[in-house]
């Protein structure tokens, strides 16, 4: 193992808005950790601005937004706008997990979400998606 | 959209958050070129007060850091925080959870909070932390706080890169023998009995004071202070900040700040040399068929790790004319 580079996938698991259910976020945080990722967990009830701040300052490769409240159509685009403001959108993989009705998917994808994982998605699938799609930097 | 070196540095100096974040990533990952970045930042450093905060898990470090950051912001000062959390030695994965406590300063971009995992080994962590502090310093942060779990040598090395070190001691954290354990008493400039509203706080303060009185300090040394805080409601935090100020003044008046800086540069240089040397030797190992090849001979009882090491280092020793 060379000292030369020590790159780890950095990931922010974010809970946004008035949504107090974080079991899913905890489970995914743990799975990401076990996959060798460095995971920053936002904690509950964060405003979109806080998520943007964390994503920018922590320079994460992946932003995973967990949302079960139904407010994804307003909150997710707000976060993406914030990332754009700090030039952080282009090379951040944005994924959404939670309850997203089928008819909302295309709108979120158009807003810049790279993938949406609904309930019952095997953990390995999400991890694999990240490993395959994490932006190459430097 | 890669940001190239000179632009990264000039963007950072121009106050772009993204550039600061990316520079720290480079430093953490040892991305080729990171040394040029740090070198270019060097002339812009030396203006920030660097405070190290350490203590056992659950002693209230992150909550205290949040309150300190808030108070500094209220004084119109900008703040940088580096929070180091352990990583799994098996997968390299980590959950970096200190950020959750940053409630009082949420959405305030003038508090730059960065989580780091302790993935670097062999002094690498303290080098990476010290370099990340330089990036924050060059960015123009007035106060920089390094937060670590004070569990081992690695962490002690990290807080040693700070000008002022605060050690958090929760009430009832064991008898005075615990406090004799290596490092804890030596590294603290200020001892903070946090959760001072809990039972046993007074006893802990007394025990600490007794232990500190037994130190053989030299004439002109800083006398470690003890502060009592309740981080969750901010009680005692202004008094703690006064102690930090007093220590900073003492550093300036006694000339210890220069001394410390000198020692730190020496340490940084040593770390870099150690790293570079071990990298050169990695290449040499590869050239000899890789470490497994060599270990196989040790497995078979043909040789010992000492003989192999001697052998591998021989050309270096020769080249240096020893």
Fold of A10-132: Rossmann fold (3.40.50)
pLDDT of residue B124: 67
Locus of tokens 């990931």: A11
The full DSSP string for A38-102 is EEEE--SSB-HHHHHHHHHHTT-SEEEEEE-SS-HHHHHHHHHHHHHHTT-STT-EEEEEE---H
The Cα B168–Cα B72 span in angstroms is 19
More confident residue, B183 or A130: A130
The answer to whether B215 and B185 are in contact (CB under 8 A) is yes
* pTM: predicted TM-score of the whole model, two decimal places: 0.88
Query: Are A87 and B278 within 8 A, CB to CB?
Result: no
Contacts of A4 in chain B (CB under 8 A): 30, 32, 279
Query: Are B278 and A37 within 8 A, CB to CB?
Result: no
The phi-psi region of residue B107 (left if phi > 0; otherwise alpha if psi is between -120 and 50; otherwise beta) is left
Locus of tokens 């809970």: A15
The Cα B1–Cα B22 span in angstroms is 12
Domain locations in chain A as residue ranges: 10-132
Q: Could you give the angle at which helices A48-57 and A72-85 cross, rounded to 10 degrees?
A: 40
Identify the closest residue of chain B to A30 by CA–CA distance.
Answer: B95
Please compute the mean of the pLDDT values over residues A119-135 and round it to a whole number. 92
User: Residue B191 has which token pair?
Assistant: 């001892």
Q: How confident is the model at residue A2 (pLDDT cuts 50, 70, 90)?
A: very low
The Cα B276–Cα B272 span in angstroms is 6
Query: Are B93 and A33 within 8 A, CB to CB?
Result: yes
Query: Are B107 and A47 within 8 A, CB to CB?
Result: yes
Listed as ranges, residues in chain B with pLDDT below 50 are 1-3, 121-122
pLDDT of residue B286: 87
Contacts of A38 in chain B (CB under 8 A): 87, 93-94, 96, 115, 117, 119
pLDDT of residue B31: 85
Residues 6+ apart with CB under 8 A from B197: B230, B235
Using a CB–CB cut-off of 8 Å, the residues of A that contact B are: 2-8, 10, 29-30, 32-43, 46-47, 49-50, 53-54, 56-59, 86-88, 90-91, 137-138
Please compute the mean of the pLDDT values over residues A37-57 and round it to a whole number. 93
Q: For the beta carbon of residue B256, count every other beta carbon within 10 angstroms.
A: 17
More confident residue, B284 or A121: A121
Q: B111: helix, coil or strand?
A: strand
Q: Measured between CA atoms, how close is B93 to chain A, in angstroms?
A: 4
Q: For the beta carbon of residue A107, count every other beta carbon within 10 angstroms.
A: 14
Task: Give residue-wise pLDDT tens across range B9-44.
Answer: 999 999 999 999 999 999 988 888 889 999 999 999
pLDDT greater than 50 at residue A120 = yes
The full DSSP string for B172-219 is T---HHHHHSTTHHHH-SEEEE-STTSTTHHHHHHHHHHHHHTS-PPT
The Cα A84–Cα A30 span in angstroms is 28
pLDDT of residue B214: 79
User: Residue B75 has which token pair?
Assistant: 């004084």
The Cα B98–Cα B154 span in angstroms is 18
CA end-to-end distance (rounded Å), chain B:
48
pLDDT greater than 50 at residue A3 = no
pLDDT of residue B1: 41
The Cα B230–Cα A82 span in angstroms is 35
Task: Give residue-wise pLDDT tens across range B128-182.
Answer: 899 999 999 999 999 999 998 765 666 677 777 899 999 998 887 665 556 555 5
Size of interface A-B (CB pairs under 8 A): 115
Residues of chain B with CATH 3.40.50.300: 46-253
pLDDT of residue B30: 83
Query: Are A3 and B279 within 8 A, CB to CB?
Result: yes
The Cα B256–Cα B208 span in angstroms is 25
Level-2 CATH architecture, domain B46-253: 3-Layer(aba) Sandwich (3.40)
């Amino acid at each position: 193992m060379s000292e030369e580079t020590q790159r780890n996938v950095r990931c922010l698991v974010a809970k946004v808005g008035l949504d107090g259910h974080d079991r899913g976020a905890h489970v995914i945080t743990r799975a990401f950790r076990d996959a060798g990722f460095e995971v920053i967990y936002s904690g509950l009830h964060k405003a979109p601005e806080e998520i943007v701040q964390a994503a920018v300052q922590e320079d994460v490769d992946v932003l995973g937004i967990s949302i079960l409240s139904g407010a994804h159509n307003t909150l997710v685009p707000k976060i993406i706008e914030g990332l754009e403001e700090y030039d952080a959108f282009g090379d951040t993989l944005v994924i959404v997990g939670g309850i997203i009705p089928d008819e909302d998917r295309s709108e979120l994808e158009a807003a810049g979400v790279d993938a949406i994982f609904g309930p019952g998605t095997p953990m390995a699938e999400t991890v694999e998606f990240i490993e395959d799609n994490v932006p190459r930097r430097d | 959209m890669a940001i190239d070196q000179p632009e990264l540095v000039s963007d950072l100096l121009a106050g772009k958050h993204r550039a600061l974040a990316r520079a720290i990533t480079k430093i953490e990952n040892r991305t080729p070129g990171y040394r040029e970045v740090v070198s270019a930042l060097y002339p812009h450093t030396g203006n920030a007060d660097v405070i190290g905060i350490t203590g056992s898990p659950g002693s209230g470090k992150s909550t205290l850091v949040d309150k300190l950051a808030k108070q500094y912001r209220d004084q119109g000062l900008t703040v940088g925080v580096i929070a180091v959390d352990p990583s799994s030695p098996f997968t390299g994965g980590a959950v970096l959870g200190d950020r959750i406590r940053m409630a009082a300063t949420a959405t305030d971009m003038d508090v730059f909070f960065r989580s780091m995992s302790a993935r670097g080994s062999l002094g690498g962590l303290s080098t990476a932390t010290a370099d990340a502090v330089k990036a924050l310093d060059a960015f123009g942060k007035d106060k920089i706080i390094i937060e670590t779990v004070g569990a081992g040598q690695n962490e002690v090395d990290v807080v040693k890169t700070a000008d002022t070190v605060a050690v958090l001691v929760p009430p009832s954290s064991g008898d005075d023998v615990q406090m004799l354990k290596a490092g804890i008493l030596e590294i603290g400039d200020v001892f903070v009995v946090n959760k001072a509203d809990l039972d046993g706080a007074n006893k802990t303060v007394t025990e600490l004071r007794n232990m500190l009185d037994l130190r053989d300090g030299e004439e002109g040394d800083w006398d470690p202070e003890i502060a009592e805080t309740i981080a969750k409601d901010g009680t005692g935090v202004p008094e703690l900040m006064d102690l930090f100020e007093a220590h900073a003044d003492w550093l300036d008046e006694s000339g210890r700040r220069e001394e410390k800086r000198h020692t730190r540069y020496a340490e940084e240089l040593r770390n870099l040399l150690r790293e570079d040397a071990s990298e050169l030797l990695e290449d040499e190992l590869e050239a000899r068929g890789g470490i497994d090849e060599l270990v196989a001979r040790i497995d078979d009882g043909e040789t010992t790790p000492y003989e192999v090491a001697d052998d591998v280092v021989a050309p270096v020793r020769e080249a240096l004319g020893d």
